[in-house]
Structure 1
Amino acid sequence: MKIKSIVLLAAGVAAVGAVAVRAATSDIEQPDYRVVSSEGDFEIREYEPMIVAQATVVGERRKAMNDGFRIIADYIFGNNLSSQEVAMTAPVTQQASEKIAMTSPVTQQASGTGTENSWQVRFVMPSEYTMDTLPKPKNMAVTLLEVPAKRVAAIRYSGNAQQSDVDKHREKLMAFLSAEKLTAANDPTYAFYDAPWTPGFMRRNEVMVEIES
């Protein structure tokens, strides 16, 4: 009986912790979009223009994500010319960029799974800022970019975003595009909305791809 009580208490503490994590992140700004259509876990969305801070990192996907996150987090936490903190937003996104060729300076589009891939890791900047009002980065690895309005197809899933999960949902999204006769405008983007300590079942992860209008 005593063991059962301890188990129930531990479960209760875990549940409270999970709720606290969600509450702590619920006020984080996310980019505006309009859902054009939805089907199960799939959505077609229209995003407003936005500004992003970007770092380009070479390496295996998850390590590149962590390295890129640290570079941009350093910028928004005050390592900029104004020593000004910028509020965290969600999601953090990652997209394959270019692969560095082993025997030639020529580059080609990456598939998104190799160890030599180049990844664009991005934080969306809070909507209150413009390119003129955002603090300028000290680190040349951080670039501020204006992203125009776009239409994307997205699939949402939970979990810890293991590579197998990312691959599976990317394949599902591409199959959805094929079935709907939609054309991808670029490589898929991986979006992660939650803090690392968020329980996997509460996480919001997405694979998104811009589609041609």
Structure 2
Amino acid sequence: MMALQTFPYEVITSSPRFEVRKMGEYFVVKSSVKENMGYEGFNDCFRYISGDNETGQKFSMTTPVINKLDDQRMQDTAFVLLNQDQFPNPHGHARVEKVSSSTMVVIKFKGNISQAIIHQKIQELKAYISSQNYDIKDGPWLARYNPPFIPGFLKRNEIMMEVVHD
């Protein structure tokens, strides 16, 4: 299987399970839907990269697919857009946003995703962030790097949180 492009970052520190990353600036196409709406956010983003935008331009699939769950029970789904700094306007509920450079702390893990696993990994990540004396600025985000048909033991996943870093 061909490797997909991913967003730019530099590893500041690394351990087997955790990384601190300096994230470069990048763009995403993003859709926000109610949590119980299944794959609608994913579908909005996929339609955009498949040419459902004002110019009909198609984009390559990239990794990761990023999800953030906010306090209002909304699910954000975002696809990373690379190699350009201007993008056509989307149709429908999707929108294109610029993501500023940041410092992220990441916990890496393999396997299928469940709410229990996500909750556990968030707690582990928060404990690690605290042990490193960082302050959480935003997050968490779930980053998934593989299509759903890949066997669970091969799936690469991450939970990311933005931290304050000098």
User: TM-score category by the smaller chain?
Assistant: over 0.9
In 1: Cα distance, 2:155 partner to 2:57 partner:
29
The structure whose residues are more often strand, as a share, is 2
Match of 2:90 in 1: 137
Is 1:96 the counterpart of 2:72? The answer is no
Q: Does 1:199 align with 2:148?
A: no
- Greater CA radius of gyration, 1 or 2? 1
State the shift of 1:181 in Å: 1.4
Does residue 74 of structure 1 match 2:47?
yes
* Aligned position for 1:19: none
CA RMSD of aligned residues (A): 1.2
Residue identity matched to 1:59: E
d(CA) in 1 for partners of 2:116, 2:29? 28
Please name the residue that 1:103 is paired with: none
Match in the other structure for 1:44: 20
Moved over 6 A (4+): none
Other-structure match for 1:83: 56
Q: Residue 109 of structure 2: which of 154, 157, 179 is its match? A: 157
Equivalent pairs, count: 165
Unpaired runs of at least 5, structure 1: 1-22, 100-116
Q: Deviations over 1:136-192 (max 9, x none)?
A: 2122x1111111110000001011111111111111000101111111101201000
Mapping of residues 173-184 of structure 1, within 5 Å: 173-184=125-136
The offset of 1:81, in angstroms, is: 1.2
The structure with the largest helix share of the pair is 1
TM-score by length of 1: 0.74
Q: State whether residues 98 and 119 of structure 1, in contact with CA within 8 Å, keep that contact through their aligned partners in structure 2.
A: no
Find the counterpart in structure 2 of residue 53 from structure 1: 29
Say whether residues 1:122 and 2:78 are aligned partners. yes
Secondary structure of the 2:129 match is helix
Q: Percent identity?
A: 26
75-84 or 188-197: bigger deviation: 75-84
Residue 86 of structure 1 deviates from its aligned partner by 0.9
